[in-house]
Chains A and B, each alone.
Chain A
Amino acid sequence: SAVISQKPSRDICQRGTSLTIQCQVDSQVTMMFWYRQQPGQSLTLIATANQGSEATYESGFVIDKFPISRPNLTFSTLTVSNMSPEDSSIYLCSVADLALDEQYFGPGTRLTVT
């Protein structure tokens, strides 16, 4: 299984600011995803991070709000822009091979927006 780390593990941010979350994997992976888990809720896929091209966003999520980078096969960033209290969530990075038979998650970044 892949070992995934995320930075920061948690942060408290002010409304209107932006936060960039980093995801680092200990091996090259084909698929990288970003999920959001709002308090007491299930996971919602934000986007698939594509290496060398623009991320693929799910319905309800846009690049201006959640810009994503993936410069190589082991690293990705998610930025939460112009934050509001509704963005308070856990943000999870996830990786998988192309078959998606095993998908692993990072420890998450707990974001609180005040």
Chain B
Amino acid sequence: GEDVEQSLFLSVREGDSSVINCTYTDSSSTYLYWYKQEPGAGLQLLTYIFSNMDMKQDQRLTVLLNKKDKHLSLRIADTQTGDSAIYFCAENGGYQKVTFGTGTKLQVIP
């Protein structure tokens, strides 16, 4: 089946850039997503990218997609303490369902 993998933990200093990486196995993915989950809260859709794009920028967020290597990344510029959360990568494998990665816990050090 589909598999989506992420590193479990990332620590950065406030003001630096954060880069969260994700790899997936399903080559038929149509959309790839980044979600943010703050402690005790639900999931917030941050951004998504269509599989025929290789980059999408939205304010402090930049998504890069390397379809050949099945690699997705989320870059957060000027990381703030409010960005501390768990970030989930997810992909739509074309079977009307979305598979989520394991989540990366981002810790921002003041």
CB contacts (< 8 Å) of B35 on chain A: these are: 105
A33 to B99, CA, bound (A): 12
Q: Nearest chain A CB to B63's CB is how many angstroms away?
A: 14
What total of chain A residues lie within 8 Å of the partner, measured CB to CB? 23
Q: Nearest chain B CB to A38's CB is how many angstroms away?
A: 12
**Contact of A102 with B45 in the complex, beta carbons under 8 Å:** yes
Within 8 A of A (CB), among B64-96: 88, 92, 96
CB contacts (< 8 Å) of A105 on chain B: these are: 35, 42-45
**Contact of A103 with B42 in the complex, beta carbons under 8 Å:** no
- Using A103-B45, A105-B42, A106-B42 as known contacts, say yes or no to A42 and B97 having CB atoms under 8 A apart: no
CB contacts (< 8 Å) of B42 on chain A: these are: 92, 105-108
Assign chain B's interface to a size class. 20 to 34
**Contact of B88 with A103 in the complex, beta carbons under 8 Å:** no
Q: B27 an interface residue at 8 Å Cβ cutoff?
A: no
- Using A42-B88, A42-B102, A102-B48 as known contacts, say yes or no to A92 and B43 having CB atoms under 8 A apart: yes
User: Measuring CB to CB, which residues of chain A are less than 8 angstroms from any residue of chain B?
Assistant: 1, 31, 33, 41-45, 48, 58, 92, 96, 98-108
> Ordered nearest first, which 7 A-B pairs have the shortest CB separation?
A105-B43, A107-B42, A43-B100, A100-B92, A42-B100, A42-B102, A108-B42
17 contacts between A and B (CB under 8 A): A31-B96, A33-B97, A43-B100, A45-B97, A45-B98, A48-B97, A58-B97, A92-B42, A99-B30, A100-B31, A100-B98, A102-B45, A105-B43, A105-B44, A106-B42, A107-B41, A107-B42
User: Measuring CB to CB, which residues of chain B are less than 8 angstroms from any residue of chain A?
Assistant: 30-31, 33, 35, 41-45, 48, 50, 88, 92, 96-103
Since A99-B30, A100-B30 are in contact, a sample of 12 more A-B pairs with Cβ atoms closer than 8 Å, ordered by chain A residue number, is A42-B100, A42-B102, A48-B96, A48-B97, A98-B96, A100-B92, A100-B98, A101-B31, A102-B45, A105-B42, A107-B41, A108-B42
